[in-house]
Structure 1
Amino acid sequence: MKYHFFLLLLLVSVFGFSQKSKIDFKAVEKDLKNDKSPYNYDKLIFKYKAYPRSLDTIEAQHLYYGRNFRKDVVSTTDEDFKTLAEAFKTGNFDECIKQGKVLYEKDPTNLDVLLILLKAYDSKKDGDNFMHHLSQFRILTDAIKSSGDGKTEKMPYLVNSVGDEYILLNILNLGKDYTRGSKSVRDGILDIWEKDNDKVYIKVLYIDY
């Protein structure tokens, strides 16, 4: 699979997730922990791993934003992730897959881990694993795009981290010619990316209640 095709697949939008909805984070947290809820974490993660395309918008939002309420997520500051990133930097894709699988099992909705696995599987020409993780990646990034329209302060795109913000910027094809302004808001930092008369609003979440 050629690298330019890999980039195209990541950047092309999937239009199935067009609904914009205000997300109730307290409800997300409660649902994920409730064994009887259709949005229980174990139920959703099973569908996500086995049949990612079967997830609807609300289910995908629960998985993506539910990471704010889990204690077992992988951080880019963790030593295990730094080792994975170093293997990626040096082009050791066999090691990327080996280490990436371990971190994926621990934190399967981590966009940084998914991106590294995608590049590694692409380099190894492993189409099946590439397409499976690509479906997962699209489900999660479309959950972000369904969180708002990014056109106003009242309807920003919501992301869990600065790293996810830059992934979203690449998907939206916003280049370095955009300038960023930031301000503190309730439960996060609001970034305003601006070029000429075009503005895109993205809120990095810091949920604490």
Structure 2
Amino acid sequence: MKHYFFLLLVFFSVFGFSQKSKIDLKNIEKSLKNSDSPYNYEKLIFKYKGYPKSLDSIEAQYLYYGRNFRDDKVSTTDDAFKSLADAFKENNFEECIKQGKVLYDKDPTNLDVLLVLLRAYDSQKDGSNFMHHLSQFRSLTEGMKNSGDGTSEKTAYLVNSVGDEYILLNILNIGKDYVRGSKPTKDGMFDIWEKDGRKLYIKILYLDFKIN
């Protein structure tokens, strides 16, 4: 399914210049669950669904990395997502929208689901829904990109999944001519992408890791 997403992302100019920010996962988890916090999940998801352009970069990062602490995530291994992927491969975009809306309601910050909906709404010439989800996609992926600069382990880009890593790689124009190496860490895995002496570090979080 991922190679389809490479094709989709070619059409999106996503990023401007933004300040990098250190991701504090422990604080993100605490704040999202705290009803008094300005970064409470329900407050942020309300803005995200209603007017995603109103999210600032920190709020977007809380939503993106906050997926690690939720129990209602949609996985690419779930039967429901596999069914959506099959409809996508068959270019059955009406069915993509039908199934995608269900998965979006369950897991609205899922980048894979957003990409399918974007392609489906584009095919149906539904500019309103397309632009709405594109704004959401931009907010989340900008938050992901601003997690680091990729020049070292300490400043590695931080992503929630391998699928999100490939979305980031495409945005950064990192192609097949890069060689990947991997290194385990206590709460995830470093992927090191290298070409002509240049190294790019991306840290993939384990979805079930625990912060002590």
The answer, yes or no, to whether TM exceeds 0.5 is yes
Separation of aligned partners in 2, 1:42 and 1:66: 12
Match of 2:54 in 1: 54
Match of 2:165 in 1: 165
The answer to whether residue 133 in structure 2 is matched with residue 133 in structure 1 is: yes
Match of 2:5 in 1: none
CA contact (8 A) 2:47 2:55 kept: yes
The answer to whether residue 36 in structure 2 is matched with residue 39 in structure 1 is: no
Gaps of 5+ in 2: 1-7
Match of 1:155 in 2: 155
Q: How many residues align?
A: 203
The answer to whether residue 16 in structure 2 is matched with residue 15 in structure 1 is: yes
Q: Check 1:28–1:7 CA distance in 2 against 1; reply closer, same or farther (3 A cut).
A: closer
Match of 1:208 in 2: 210
Separation of aligned partners in 2, 1:153 and 1:25: 16
Q: Check 1:7–1:28 CA distance in 2 against 1; reply closer, same or farther (3 A cut).
A: closer
Match of 1:3 in 2: none
Match of 2:4 in 1: none
Separation of aligned partners in 2, 1:46 and 1:59: 12
SS at match of 1:72: coil
Q: Which amino acid in 2 is paired with 1:30?
A: K
TM-score, normalised by the number of residues in structure 2: 0.92
Match of 2:95 in 1: 95
SS at match of 1:143: helix
Q: Which amino acid in 2 is paired with 1:137?
A: F
Q: What aligned pairs does 1:101-116 form with structure 2 within 5 A after superposition?
A: 101-116=101-116
CA contact (8 A) 2:22 2:147 kept: yes
Match of 2:194 in 1: 194
Sequence identity, in percent? Answer: 72
Deviations, residues 70-95 of structure 1 (Å, cap 9, x unaligned):
00010001110000000001010000
Query: For the aligned residues, what is the CA RMSD?
Result: 1.4
Q: Check 1:155–1:134 CA distance in 2 against 1; reply closer, same or farther (3 A cut).
A: same
Separation of aligned partners in 2, 1:35 and 1:76: 30
Separation of aligned partners in 2, 1:15 and 1:47: 21
Match of 1:142 in 2: 142
Q: Give the Å deviation of 1:159.
A: 0.3
CA contact (8 A) 2:9 2:170 kept: no
TM-score, normalised by the number of residues in structure 1: 0.94
Separation of aligned partners in 2, 1:112 and 1:7: 11
Q: Give the Å deviation of 1:21.
A: 1.5
Separation of aligned partners in 1, 2:9 and 2:164: 17
